[in-house]
Structure 1
Amino acid sequence: MTGDLRAAYELAFGRTISDSQWWRVRGILGKHQLEINQVNLQLLAKLRLLLPGSAVAVSGLLTAYQEAEKLTQNTNTFIVGSELVEILRRVGVCPHRTTLSRWFNQVANGYKRNRQYSVEHVKSLLILAFLYKAKMLQKTRSKIEERNK
């Protein structure tokens, strides 16, 4: 059974992984109270492939995904662009206009205030936003640590 799950992860990830990496993958899912099944393993592989050079660890990716899921579980099938920007501000993510534009270009072919975005696009944007927030917190912490030396 475990071999089948590992094979499913490797297939979704696009290459074989070492025993220690497989052990870490299982540990990450356990830490986030996610069942080790094919769907969750494919989700994790997809997140790792989506943001390969992310400054935030894989654990941070899953946290961002879970927060995005929470925010979108009670929403309609579409969200208007201006509402989405307001949601970002409510959760404490206030990036520059250029950053917002880049995120929307990556995920949904640009930003329009009155355009309706699907829940899947919204989830992707929220994941990018939460990773951005985590990265900014990480930078702030490192600057504080440098000052305290």
Structure 2
Amino acid sequence: MSTILAYLPLAVLLAFAVLTALGAVSLLSRRQHPLRILSLALTNAAYLLIWALLIPLTSVIAIAWWVLVVATLAGIVVASVRASRPLSVPAADPAATRGQEKRRRRTLRQLGAPGLAGVIANGAVFVAVAVLALVAG
């Protein structure tokens, strides 16, 4: 049991790294609603803060942490610039293929404000990871 507890901070660190990287990639890759940008930015900031409190930032860990900080900041800037520009979403086309209509609906969903279920799921993941970090650290 003590061996598992000894490696638990590293497992939490890896989970934070993966979650932060996914958030940064999401910010960089597609256009999103400003509230989604805010939600992802705050979540990534909280993950990075807990990560910094959990394990001393030395050598490779510090470099990885700073890479994720820069990726998150770059994602916030890119997503904010994208959100500030107008977008014309094509109207529903009766001749569109099934894949094209699916892409159009996914784009419309991403441009909308986050739903209550998404906010609750985001909060639940954050609480679970924070509890795990407190138990590990």
TM class by smaller structure? under 0.3
Highest CA radius of gyration, 1 or 2?
2
Structure with bigger RCO (C-alpha 8 Å, 6+ apart): 2
Which structure has more strand as a fraction of its residues? Answer: 1
Instruction: Please state which structure has a larger fraction of its residues in helix.
Output: 2
